[in-house]
Structure 1
Amino acid sequence: MNALLPTAIVGSLPKPSWLAEPEKLWSPWKLAGAELAEGKHDALSLAAEEQRLAGIDVIADGEQTRQHFVTTFIEHLNGVDFESRETVRIRNRYDADVPAVVGPVSRPKAVFVDDAQALRAQTTQPIKWALPGPMTMIDTLADRHYGSREKLARKFAKILNQEAKELEAAGVDIIQFDEPAFNVFFDDVRDWGVEVLDLAAEGLRAETVVHICYGYGIKANTDWKATLGSEWRQYEESFPLLQRSSVDTVSLECHNSHAPVELIGLLRGKKVMVGAIDVARTAIETPEEVAATLRKVLPFVDQDKLYPSTNCGMAPLSRHVARDKMAALASGAAIVRAELAGATSPPT
């Protein structure tokens, strides 16, 4: 792995068309039973190889074995009824039919450990695995049992911590918690959200990441972004709190974002995964565009703590667009890496 500016994707990659309908979230599987299990791991291998060929340093699973970044984890828990669904407002943005919490939630067995072991076998490079964050989990459910967002989030944090420790034991180097809800529920973030996130990461030796973005490049999210005005200051609410948290790294949306770049300075001392690839458009960034984004943020993050990444997951994109965007990310990081190495080299 490159010691300076190691690259990584945030979350999902498009699935092969033989596994699920492409360019679609919540896409149903095209296979079943043993064929589905084999197909998922074949797709996992492809995702790892495509990242390697693109020049990505930290290899992720691309969420090839899950239908959705939140609900696939939840469906393996006790206490959640997927037959009794309700329509709820997700992050105050769009409606979705979601399962209901009908009793005490628990995790009867590991959810992603077998998949993580399969990814670990694919590469000697560092691997990263993403889990849904506690606050985003409770926002993707109807609660009929706990009657308290905080109480349910704390239960989920304990469950996530169990899963994360088993992923760590399976060879995962970096564990990411996805918390797009941190950009919406600011009072909860302040009152208990960061504390609960720390509970999910408690005791881990693996590097920990929290990912906070403005969402996939789908219409509901792009429409919401259009209402935010010319300057997005949501990060101003969470970054000072996260700077004091136990989480090692904060992942954020940057390229083509209206979030003021100087807000990254609120995280000084933390590692920062800076989104230099816009997942809400199909146009491929040039390496120089990626480099320009990274140069723009360098005054606000220590260069040895900067991880160039994507803004969010790329599941709604085509495979060739995602491949080209990853290659641009790697090439753009290489440009700035060479510039920084030249700047720090002793004179000859």
Structure 2
Amino acid sequence: MTPTLLPTSIVGSLPKPSWLAQPETLWSPWNLQGDDLAEGRRDALRIAVHEQTNREIDIISDGEQTRQHFVTTFIEHLNGVDFEKRETVRIRDRYDASVPTVVGAVSRGEPVFADDAKFLRQQTDQPIKWALPGPMTMIDTLYDGYYKSREKLAWEFAAVLNQEARDLEAAGVDIIQFDEPAFNVFFDEMTDWGIATLERAAEGLRAETAVHICYGYGITANNDWKATLGSEWRQYGESFPLLQQSTIDIVSLECHNSGVPMDLLELIRGKKVMLGAIDVANETIETPEEVSDTLRKVLRFVDSDKLIPSTNCGMAPFSRDVALGKLSALSAGTSIVREELSVASS
């Protein structure tokens, strides 16, 4: 099969159907229970594949339809974490949240997402991508009452994540993505051990690996933080040089309607770039021309065979109509640039 030029993808979540979970809400409670919930989650995953395929998205994701949250759903399946014993912590130095507590050695008793990934693989012949939380973002979503060391806990999580990633690869996943928004906040820890623990999580995989670093879901706490960052957001300048030298294959980043200077992309020259060309901080649906304009600017710094047009972050807080409209804009805008590149090379 000839590789698609500028293959499109989504970063993570899509809105869940209202019959499955409360709409437009993070950590949305399930509306079903037991066997009905298991069936409903699979039905929602099947719908997510259908919606992406209909909108000509090339790399298909699960849309996180079978999990409540991109971090905690994985953690709740691990040993050593007590979800009944909760503490309030500051998430990424931005907002307070009630989180579970690490009370013992963390380990994974059995695969968490492998069965869902196998089901996703059965729904499409296109490449599929699955997202996992990264080690640093996991430790920032917990209270550590056992290790009392962010670094040690991160290394423990990295080993657990590597086990999970290998099972996802065996289930047929083509791209395994690790979500590390914490890389945009804790620069010293990222430099000292964050990149190393990420590489440990990805160790030995034959599937392509990606790291997603963004400025967060389009929720008030994140939008308020963005408003304090000034006209130029240069946080990526801390992680990109390190990632350029890392074993990670793809760097996923926020771009459209952000303050990220395009020239920072030069720092990851040679890596594949999953480029956010869709804003998730507001409900305005981009025009295809807005998407294509963003991609043209990026192509000054990223070779066309290494560019994967995508969304800035997940879209769980949106209505389904808005999210699907944005997917259509992503594919339509990408098609414009594909055609331009085809003409230029002929």
Output the TM-score relative to the length of structure 2. Answer: 0.99
Q: Which residue of 2 aligns with 1:17?
A: 18
CA distance in 2, matches of 1:217, 1:177: 19
Matches within 5 A, 1:314-333: 314-333=315-334
Q: Which residue of 1 aligns with 2:254?
A: 253
CA distance in 2, matches of 1:23, 1:341: 39
Matches within 5 A, 1:287-298: 287-298=288-299
Could you tell me how far 1:263 is from its partner in structure 2?
0.2
2:179 is the counterpart of 1:178? yes
Q: Which residue of 1 aligns with 2:286?
A: 285
Which letter does structure 2 place at the counterpart of 1:314? Answer: M
CA distance in 1, matches of 2:66, 2:344: 43
Could you tell me how far 1:188 is from its partner in structure 2?
0.5
Q: Which residue of 1 aligns with 2:104?
A: 103
What SS does the aligned partner of 1:334 have? helix
What SS does the aligned partner of 2:182 have? helix
Conserved in 2, the CA contact under 8 Å of 1:2 and 1:57?
A: no
Matches within 5 A, 1:1-348: 3-345=4-346
CA distance in 1, matches of 2:51, 2:237: 35
Conserved in 2, the CA contact under 8 Å of 1:69 and 1:132?
A: yes
CA distance in 1, matches of 2:341, 2:267: 23
Conserved in 2, the CA contact under 8 Å of 1:194 and 1:241?
A: yes
Structure 1 residue runs of 5 or longer lacking an equivalent are none
Could you tell me how far 1:2 is from its partner in structure 2?
5.4
Could you tell me how far 1:187 is from its partner in structure 2?
0.2
Structure 2 residue runs of 5 or longer lacking an equivalent are none
Could you tell me how far 1:210 is from its partner in structure 2?
0.1
Residues 105-144 of structure 1, C-alpha deviations (whole Å, 9 max, x = no match): 0000000001001111100000000000000000000001
Instruction: Decide whether aligned partners of structure 1 residues 324 and 253 sit closer, same or farther in structure 2, where only a CA change above 3 A counts.
Output: same
Q: How many residues align?
A: 345
Residues 261-285 of structure 1, C-alpha deviations (whole Å, 9 max, x = no match): 1101100000000000001111110
Which letter does structure 2 place at the counterpart of 1:106? Answer: S
Could you tell me how far 1:49 is from its partner in structure 2?
0.4
Which letter does structure 2 place at the counterpart of 1:120? Answer: R
CA distance in 1, matches of 2:96, 2:8: 34
Could you tell me how far 1:147 is from its partner in structure 2?
1.1
Which letter does structure 2 place at the counterpart of 1:13? Answer: L
Output the TM-score relative to the length of structure 1. Answer: 0.98
CA distance in 2, matches of 1:154, 1:337: 41
Could you tell me how far 1:197 is from its partner in structure 2?
0.4
CA distance in 2, matches of 1:93, 1:240: 25
The runs of 4+ residues in structure 1 deviating greater than 3 Å are none
What SS does the aligned partner of 1:121 have? helix
Counting aligned pairs with the same residue, the percent is 74
What SS does the aligned partner of 2:120 have? helix
Residues 221-246 of structure 1, C-alpha deviations (whole Å, 9 max, x = no match): 00000011111000000000000000
CA distance in 2, matches of 1:307, 1:216: 20
CA distance in 2, matches of 1:234, 1:326: 27
Which letter does structure 1 place at the counterpart of 2:143? Answer: A
Q: Aligned Cα RMSD in Å?
A: 0.7
